[in-house]
Structure 1
Amino acid sequence: MSLRRKLALFLCLAFTGTAFLPAVAAQQQEKAGVRRTLVRAGHVLDVKTGKIADAQTIVVVGDTIQSIAPTASLTAEASDAVVDLGGMTVMPGLIDVHTHITMNTDFDPFRELTSTDAKQAINGVVNARLTLMAGFTSIRNVGAGDYTDVDLRDAINSGQVAGPHMLVSGPAMGITGGHCDDNLLPAQYHQVGDGVADGIAAVQQKVRQSIKYGADLIKICATGGVLSKGDDPQASQYTLEEMQAIVADAHRLGRKVAAHAHGAQGILWATEAGVDSIEHGSYINDAAIAEMKMRGTYLVPTLYLQDWMVEKGNLPALYHQKMLDVTAVAKKNIKHAIEAGVKIALGTDAAVYPHGLNAHELDVYVNQMGMSPLAALQSATVNAADLMGWTAKTGSLEAGKWADIIGVDKNPLDDVRVLQDVKFVMKAGVVYKGEGSAAK
């Protein structure tokens, strides 16, 4: 581990102090099988079917759901912990497959240039907790400097800090001078992004290096982007052959590939190369839609950030026009892709808007994109779990899966915006918010 990463991790842990030691102790107790936790739910939502079952009890042992049964049939034992959610609708924890958990909405170039790995690590600790408290119990982090997200994932998994389950990519891969390079400094500084690699041999080496340092997936920049200098969101970056080499190595080594892609040509090439998901998809066209449907490639729209930018964004001039150009077309094109039947997994680009507002993406899907509330919820549960390769672990409330459970005041199928105010959060059998979070 580099000295920078050690310092970043040390600062992370120092920052958290002892705030979450009770939760860690509770988690260890649950895993030891000392007691059951009975989650008494007023209503349980089956996100696969949309059906509601009233007066159900979810039995949690350790970090796992043991069973779900009518409350009337389950009598608490003396050693059981009981969580009373009798007035709530309960469902699986939400999943966001496109976050930048170690970053914030600091778009000023000076802030970008002065953001250290240690600062990113501290950001990650704060943002991971915000995200968990918002009801997102799993995330896929697609881009972080110097593998700070790897260290954050490991700290969460070991119980040192609070946060969602994470799959992480480390630095995103990109071409020299492209969206995932560092382009703000002049030539004499010779600044190069952590994930830059050009040519087939170089991209193969970079995939292997990312896996060596702990990446769960590979993130690539197939086209230019918005919040970067000197590139065009519609322009392809990696060639088809380079992306084929990336995907071949990643898949052989058990990692999926997420492709940042705004432009239609880049979307098509990335899909033909075999990536598992297209992120953003702003200029998607019929050819790309057809290819994605044929291959079963997921589209990960990141739409709420556009609304947030219109209302509260204050971008520097070098980014502003690109944001206007993309937002002028993205929703229309993505709505067309949704109506055409492309598979959707919820992703938000959290960091381009403030962390913790992730559920606003669902509101956009339903009330702007025309998705049914159930389809929107499935994008953030069963679909997202499928994309992450975690269907056996999460995405629905079933015996044998993680006890990732959230509660809200009413049925989100009646008003999906209720998920913007989650009242109860349990992750892996530990209550972090709501009934029982302090005492149990």
Structure 2
Amino acid sequence: MSYYYASSSDSSSDSSYGDDSSSDDDFYSDTVSSDESSIEEMSFGEGIQVALENISCPPNELIVMTRDAQIIENTIMKTVCDYNPDFKKEYGGFGSADSFLDGIRIWLPDEHDLNIELRLPLYLQPVCANGYPGFVFLHVIGGDYKHRCVEKYLGNYYFNRSKLRNWLTDCLFRAMHHLASVRVSQRRSYSLQYMHRGDAHNFKAIETSGKRRVISFNFVPSIKFAANQWPRGLDKVPNKNRDWCAVPRNYNKAHCQNDSRSFIISAPDWEYLALQNKVNLKNSLRLMKAFCQANEMDGLGSYMLKSIYLDKINEKPQSNWTLSPGNLLIQMMFKLKHCLLNNKIRFYLDPLHNCLDQLEESDRRQYLRNTNRCLSKLLRRRKADYLTDDDLDEFFGV
């Protein structure tokens, strides 16, 4: 992967994101001592480049782990099909739904989110779940009404998320009797562990010798729809007529009642299109992910951070995404600060859905303090045009 940087560009001032550093959040601001006397080790742009190189997986390890992961994924699905005829009949393949698809992965490729596509003998109509933005019910309007995952509710038939989870769990448990390990080469193999968490099905693969690599897989069932089947009442983002899907998930509002009909809308291909050909944007997002990991902001998952960028694209699709990664990072940290202040990250596919609904208030306040502290220091470093090794450790954990 190639990286763009130029120290003259990274150290330049930009009024579009440089005037917001002292305003509405003094309550959360930490007092930061002047540290401009630190030893200068590299220019600001050079430091950003070093950070990008350090959060990237070594090319040889990337090749090995990606190949191993593909073999394990295919072996798991083949085994489930071999020992479950009903699953084989409805299995439509799987696809990446994570940072690998978008090219924004950091560190090792040791976690994979995958959508299992189901092809059902049903005609399904997605309808918005009133009061729960981003969620839909799958109304059964034809086909096999006696299907194992169909349930009648107030006179209408719906696809049932809980029944789907129970069926898939049973299929995968049965397959595990024949899938204690997976051989990826003549000399190397991985042992497998399986568990389900809610509507997701997790496998952990542990290399039995050598480097003892660990790769985890998060399989989630998905039901695919054409672009013209988008739920009525929701605006579409640009999609080039690519498919979208419904993924089983309970409402993410705290203390809300469980509804076994609830699915969330998902469109990895639409998000891919929005991020396509924006290399510097992706590199700044990778830096943002490293920043959150280094500063113990684990409640801001990868998809939340990606959503902040997608929302910015929605606001200003023609923004200057060719700015250097360091300058884009500062710009987007102001956006992150705004989201934390307002306790809202808008969902790309439905802006009324808040991705921050379940973040604890104490975490939100701490994350805001961390963001303010590091943003203030990054602004000073850019102005002085230098970064130190200690800065890279503090900002990005490298």
TM-score w.r.t. structure 2 length? 0.27
What TM-score, normalized to structure 1?
0.25
